[in-house]
């Protein structure tokens, strides 16, 4: 018995097309796989970059917060320090005003003395001024020798308010001055003096005004006044 078998055969053109399709499918699969790999690597890189910048951002934020805290603390310290300095300066200024007021009151107390006590004060100041001048004159004469020229006429300049004491003051020292060959003359009133007097010897002016007297004592007495006022 003979069997009739039909065998399907491909024509040459069909074989080529089928091969191309297989190649195309293979290339497409490989391309897809490569694309997926590239995307995966890109995503990994992107995630790494994002993480890096996130960490940098967190670091910058942390540093900024730390700086802000430090700056805020420093600003508070400066504010507290400035307030303390302002308070201290105000206190020192007020203390200075009180000390000045104490010396002003001392001057007022001298001006408020009765006539007898005030004359004694002026007389004491005049005796002291004359003694200082005569001592300085003696020292200069010893140093310069025969070239030294002594002043013989001294002037007493007083404020108008104290001029009524002038004649008595001049008379109180005239005898002693005459012994050393000198005279004292009362000059015209000088209201610039305020209170007290100025002894004038040639070009030398010895200021014995009460304002100058208080000022000269201020340096040595200021510390004591502070202790009395603020102890």
Q: How far is CA 198 from the centre of its chain?
A: 39
- Let me know the angle formed at the C-alpha of 41 by 36 and 43, rounded to the nearest 5 degrees: 90
For 10-19, write each residue's pLDDT tens digit. Answer: 565 666 667 7
Per-residue confidence band for 76, with pLDDT thresholds at 50, 70 and 90: confident
Just give the CATH number of 114-230. 3.30.2320.30
For residue 224, is pLDDT > 70?
no
Highest mean pLDDT out of 33-47, 76-90, 174-188: 174-188
For residue 3, is pLDDT > 60?
no
Is 141:150 a contact under the CB 8 Å cutoff? yes
Q: Which two tokens stand for residue 58?
A: 């967190």
pTM > 0.75: yes or no = no
The rounded distance, in Å, linking the Cα atoms of 4 and 68 is 98
For 82-137, write each residue's pLDDT tens digit. Answer: 666 666 666 555 555 555 667 678 778 888 889 999 999 999 999 999 999 889 88
- Say which residue the tokens 């490569």 belong to: 34
Q: What is the pLDDT of residue 88?
A: 62
């Amino acid at each position: 018995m003979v069997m009739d078998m039909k065998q399907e055969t491909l024509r040459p053109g069909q074989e080529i097309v089928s091969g191309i399709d297989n190649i195309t499918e293979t290339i497409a699969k490989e391309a897809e796989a490569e694309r997926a790999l590239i995307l995966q690597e890109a995503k990994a890189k992107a995630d790494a970059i994002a993480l890096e910048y996130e960490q940098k951002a967190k670091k910058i934020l942390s540093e900024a917060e730390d700086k802000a805290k430090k700056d805020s603390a420093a600003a508070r310290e400066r504010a507290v320090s400035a307030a303390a300095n302002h308070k201290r300066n105000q206190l020192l200024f007020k203390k200075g005003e009180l000390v000045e007021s104490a010396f002003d009151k001392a001057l007022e107390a001298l001006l408020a003395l009765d006539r007898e006590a005030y004359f004694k004060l002026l007389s004491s100041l005049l005796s002291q001024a004359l003694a200082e001048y005569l001592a300085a004159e003696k020292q200069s004469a010893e140093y310069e020798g025969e070239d030294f020229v002594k002043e013989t006429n001294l002037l007493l300049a007083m404020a108008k308010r104290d001029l009524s004491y002038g004649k008595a003051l001049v008379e109180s020292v005239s005898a002693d001055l005459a012994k050393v060959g000198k005279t004292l003359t009362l000059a015209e009133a000088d209201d610039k003096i305020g209170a007290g007097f100025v002894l004038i010897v040639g070009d030398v002016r010895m200021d014995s005004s009460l304002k100058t007297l208080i000022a000269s004592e201020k340096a040595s007495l200021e510390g004591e006044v502070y202790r009395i006022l603020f102890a």
